[in-house]
Amino acid sequence: MIFSVYYVAALVLAGGDLRGRLAQWRFQTLGPSALWCAVLPITYAAQIAILVLAAQRHPWPVALVPPVLDRPALVTGPMLALAALQVYALAALYRARIGGAAIAAGVVMTLLSCIAPVFANADVYAYAGNGVLGLAAYAPPHAPFPGDLAAINARWGTPVPAATYGPLWLLLARATGAVAPALAGKLLAFRALALAFFGLTLLALRGCGLPTRVLAIAAANPGLQLQFVLDAHNDVVAIALVVGAAALVRKLPAVACALLVAAALVKLPYALLGLPVLAAIASPARRYAACAAVVAGSAALSWIFGGEAYARALIGYASSTGLLGVVHAVAALGAVAAIVAAVAGARRFRAAVWLMPMLGAYTASWYAIWGLPYALGRRRVVAYLLLWFPLVSVLAEPSLATPWTMLVVIPVLVALSLRYSLQPRPS
């Protein structure tokens, strides 16, 4: 029930933005941009150090690079403080003249992400299991993995849960995991894969015509680096495909539709999440036909390659009941409404980006990037998402979640984000 805070927060922010009450957060940044470019990798290195120290205290059996699950209450506070400083630094970078310092900051953070001896989340272990099983991951065998791969079972059980990812991801995971027989090599291979798609995402963002300062806060974004390079979450694959579709949709709409279908074959929610990029198709008839083709193609290919086992895994994964399920459903309907409005060419609202993660079975830090396809229609919305991403992703990280972050920090931030809490209207 406590997790309903995420859904309520997203709904309140979206409603406040719809009524014109979302604060602009205009504040003066102090010091030269080069200073804040240095702050970003320094704070990111500090976050990695915190995760490493926490991981060393956790008695994780056989795992070579353990995720952080031990005593999050002691870790979350420093992680949040550093993330808040990163938001301020990104705001300073966004408003400054961009130079080589921003590029250097991004390169340093990427190197730190690649060599970090820790994961903040254990999903990459599931990816290694996906790579071993391939399409058989939809119906995993009732037997542990051999050798050091047994660490996957130590975290995910025996059998491992049925995969809820699309068939394209399972094939890609199989090819990635095949580069190394040992678990450590497989984990590093998935991190290398994530790095490659993170780079493709940045190139695609440039192809979308975004200004340099927006590209800078994407490349030098500690939150993105943590989620999609260090932790290697596979959403970066789908996001790269969707942003690529946005870059090509005006000149090559058919190719854009194919890329959106491919993203949905990585994670099925992208069959809806990617649709706002098709708003760039001028003809309404062609635009809606393209949307229908993406949804139908994603569903058909998912069934052809995943079959009944994939459908069963998705249904079991997404089931929720009680008041939490009701609030979740309302937030998800809000996300669908925002997507439909975006496809129709309506105004895009900043806070609507936080509704998009509600299309998942639950909230998680890496799902915060789900708002990017919606945001791409307006540069201001993209900047808003990227600027707040480091703090939001820490607040939504399952391994760092605590009652005080959900019951105190999130409500306070929501209140501060609403204009009436900062500038009350006269009676």
Structure tokens at 43: 């704070």
424 in a structural domain: no
* Four-CA torsion 162, 266, 67, 81, nearest 10 degrees: -130
What pLDDT, on the 0 to 100 scale, is given for residue 4?
85
Query: Does pLDDT of 74 surpass 80?
Result: no
423 in a structural domain: no
What pLDDT, on the 0 to 100 scale, is given for residue 26?
64
164 in a structural domain: yes
Amino acid identity at 149: L
What pLDDT, on the 0 to 100 scale, is given for residue 427?
36
Determine the angle formed by the axes of helices 72-95 and 379-396, rounding to 10 degrees: 160
Helix (H, G, I), strand (E, B) or coil at 24: coil
107 in a structural domain: yes
What's the rounded mean pLDDT across residues 192-210? 97
Task: Quickly state the pLDDT bin for 274 (edges 50, 70, 90).
Answer: very high
What pLDDT, on the 0 to 100 scale, is given for residue 332?
93
Q: Are 342 and 348 in contact (CB under 8 A)?
A: yes
CA distances in angstroms from 127 to 16, 165, 186, 296, listed in the order given: 38, 10, 9, 27
CA angle 410, 72, 226 (to 5 degrees): 75
Helix (H, G, I), strand (E, B) or coil at 119: strand
What pLDDT, on the 0 to 100 scale, is given for residue 58?
58
pLDDT single digits (tens) 231-246? 999 999 999 999 999 9
pLDDT single digits (tens) 141-187? 999 999 989 989 988 999 999 999 999 999 999 999 999 999 989 99
Task: Quickly state the pLDDT bin for 322 (edges 50, 70, 90).
Answer: low
The region, left, alpha or beta by phi > 0 then psi within -120 to 50, assigned to residue 209 is left
Query: Does pLDDT of 252 surpass 90?
Result: yes
Task: Quickly state the pLDDT bin for 422 (edges 50, 70, 90).
Answer: very low
Helix (H, G, I), strand (E, B) or coil at 53: helix
Q: How many domains does the chain have?
A: 1
Token match 């310092």: residue? 101
What pLDDT, on the 0 to 100 scale, is given for residue 2?
64
Task: State the Cα–Cα distance between residues 413 and 17, nearest whole angstrom.
Answer: 14
Q: Are 272 and 334 in contact (CB under 8 A)?
A: no
CA distances in angstroms from 245 to 207, 249, 261, 382, listed in the order given: 10, 6, 10, 16
CA angle 347, 352, 357 (to 5 degrees): 140
Helix (H, G, I), strand (E, B) or coil at 234: coil
Task: State the Cα–Cα distance between residues 68 and 75, nearest whole angstrom.
Answer: 9
- How crowded is residue 20: how many other Cβ atoms within 10 Å of its Cβ? 9
What pLDDT, on the 0 to 100 scale, is given for residue 324?
74
427 in a structural domain: no
What pLDDT, on the 0 to 100 scale, is given for residue 22?
82
What pLDDT, on the 0 to 100 scale, is given for residue 299?
97
Task: State the Cα–Cα distance between residues 109 and 224, nearest whole angstrom.
Answer: 10
pLDDT single digits (tens) 107-121? 999 999 999 988 888
Helix (H, G, I), strand (E, B) or coil at 22: strand
Q: Are 407 and 379 in contact (CB under 8 A)?
A: no
Q: Considering only 30-34, 93-97, 270-274, 373-377, which range has the smallest mean pLDDT?
A: 30-34
Q: How many residues does the chain have?
A: 427
Number of C-alpha atoms within 13 angstroms, CB side, residue 416? 8
Q: Considering only 29-38, 85-94, 346-355, which range has the smallest mean pLDDT?
A: 29-38
- How crowded is residue 406: how many other Cβ atoms within 10 Å of its Cβ? 18
What pLDDT, on the 0 to 100 scale, is given for residue 425?
42
What's the rounded mean pLDDT across residues 315-340? 83
Answer whether the bond into residue 159 is a cis peptide, omega within 30°. Answer: yes
What pLDDT, on the 0 to 100 scale, is given for residue 185?
93
Q: Are 231 and 120 in contact (CB under 8 A)?
A: yes
CA angle 77, 83, 88 (to 5 degrees): 130
Q: Are 279 and 377 in contact (CB under 8 A)?
A: yes
298 in a structural domain: yes
Task: State the Cα–Cα distance between residues 10 and 392, nearest whole angstrom.
Answer: 11
DSSP 3-state percent helix, strand, coil across the chain (nearest 5): 75, 0, 25
What pLDDT, on the 0 to 100 scale, is given for residue 100?
76
Q: Are 171 and 163 in contact (CB under 8 A)?
A: no
Task: State the Cα–Cα distance between residues 9 and 129, nearest whole angstrom.
Answer: 34
Q: Considering only 123-127, 319-323, 383-387, which range has the smallest mean pLDDT?
A: 319-323
CA distances in angstroms from 201 to 156, 241, 369, listed in the order given: 30, 8, 12
Predicted model pTM: 0.93
Compute the mean pLDDT over every residue in the chain, rounded to the nearest whole number.
89
Task: Quickly state the pLDDT bin for 416 (edges 50, 70, 90).
Answer: confident
410 in a structural domain: yes
Residue-number span of the structural domain to which 110 is assigned: 4-417
Task: Quickly state the pLDDT bin for 295 (edges 50, 70, 90).
Answer: very high
Task: State the Cα–Cα distance between residues 361 and 151, nearest whole angstrom.
Answer: 25
% of the chain beyond a pLDDT of 70: 89
What pLDDT, on the 0 to 100 scale, is given for residue 300?
97
pLDDT single digits (tens) 19-61? 887 877 665 667 777 788 899 999 999 999 998 888 777 545 4
425 in a structural domain: no
